[in-house]
Amino acid sequence: MKIKSQFLIALALFLVLLSAGCSKRNLQPQSPVLARVGDQLITARSFTESYSFGPSMLKSVSGAKESYLEAMINEEILAQIPEVQALRSKRVVQKSMRLLQQELLVEKLFNVEVGEKVTVTEDEIREAIVKSAVENKVKYIYTDDYAEAQRFADELNRGADFDSLLAGKLGRLGLTLENGETDYIGYGELHEPFNEVIFDLGLNEISPVIAYDNGYYIIKKTDSRRMIISEMDFAKYRHRYEQIIRYKKDRIR
């Protein structure tokens, strides 16, 4: 069904930095195979979906597609190590794997000359690392119909229950409520405007309609937690966040 397919693509968009491996694990024999790791395939379609929904600033770097494919392959290789498979259900391991994937992309794609005029202060670096320690969980309603999105927003403003509207929307697509909920999301793991919107929302607060690409989203923050950051963590991630901040500043000069 076309509508259900569009919703699933939107789901992939919203979760790509949290679970980029999910879409590529579905076998799609009609799509050309770009890589095979054991019995898992990375197809042209799964790569295109994952890459297209990745951070836009990655794509301005020379060789970005090749580097992104390499990162997907490396992630799949890592996922098939027996020790990793046995532990990957644990939250700390899931977080470490997400950070590893981001670290690989940062080192591979952000390693560019940005000019001496771009400066990054220690306060900026520490602020970025502190923000990364906060993780939020959200539910969201997606539609590709602006009129429907506005109807949802109007109903919510009149006091309608968010979960009931979400369950109704998903039920019409043959999906369950779990399909409209994310895992815990760290700061910077999603596109803008999602990233700032989610972190600006209060607990149980609902966003206005967010237009993105060809769809519309309404988001509700359902939980928030803060990871403990030590001085060792600041030292460990300092270079990574300095690169990210420096690159972003260079792009807007």
pLDDT tens sequence across 118-166: 788 999 989 888 887 888 999 999 888 999 999 999 999 999 999 999 9
Q: What is the percent of the chain where pLDDT is above 70? A: 60
**Does 64 reside within a domain?**
yes
Same domain assignment for residues 104 and 140 = no
**Does 234 reside within a domain?**
no
Q: Count up the domains in the chain and report the number.
A: 2
**Does 129 reside within a domain?**
no
Same domain assignment for residues 61 and 93 = yes
Same domain assignment for residues 102 and 146 = no
List the domain range (segments joined by +) for residue 192.
Answer: 134-226
Same domain assignment for residues 95 and 57 = yes
More confident residue, 101 or 35: 35
Residues 6+ apart with CB under 8 A from 195: 187, 188, 189
**Proportion of the chain in helix, strand, coil states, percent, rounded to 5:** 55, 15, 30
Q: What is the pLDDT of residue 150?
A: 97
Same domain assignment for residues 91 and 159 = no
**Does 118 reside within a domain?**
no
**Does 231 reside within a domain?**
no
Say if pTM beats, i.e. exceeds, 0.85: no
Q: What is the pLDDT of residue 97?
A: 46
Q: What is the pLDDT of residue 102?
A: 55
Same domain assignment for residues 60 and 145 = no
Domain endpoint, select from 58, 81, 112: 112
**Does 76 reside within a domain?**
yes
**Does 56 reside within a domain?**
yes
Structure-block tokens of residue 225: 């937690």
Same domain assignment for residues 222 and 173 = yes
- Asked if pLDDT for residue 187 goes beyond 60, the answer is yes
CATH number, domain with residue 165: 3.10.50.40
- Band (pLDDT 50/70/90 cuts) for residue 109 is very low
E runs forming strands in the chain: 33-37, 40-43, 134-143, 185-186, 210-212, 215-226
Same domain assignment for residues 195 and 150 = yes
pLDDT tens sequence across 196-228: 899 899 999 999 999 987 789 999 999 999 888
Burial class (CB in 10 A: 0-12, 13-18, 19+), 88: middle
**Does 253 reside within a domain?**
no
Same domain assignment for residues 23 and 102 = yes
Same domain assignment for residues 138 and 107 = no
Same domain assignment for residues 7 and 106 = yes
Q: If DSSP codes are grouped into helix, strand and coil, which group holds residue 227?
A: coil
Q: What is the pLDDT of residue 173?
A: 78
Same domain assignment for residues 45 and 13 = yes
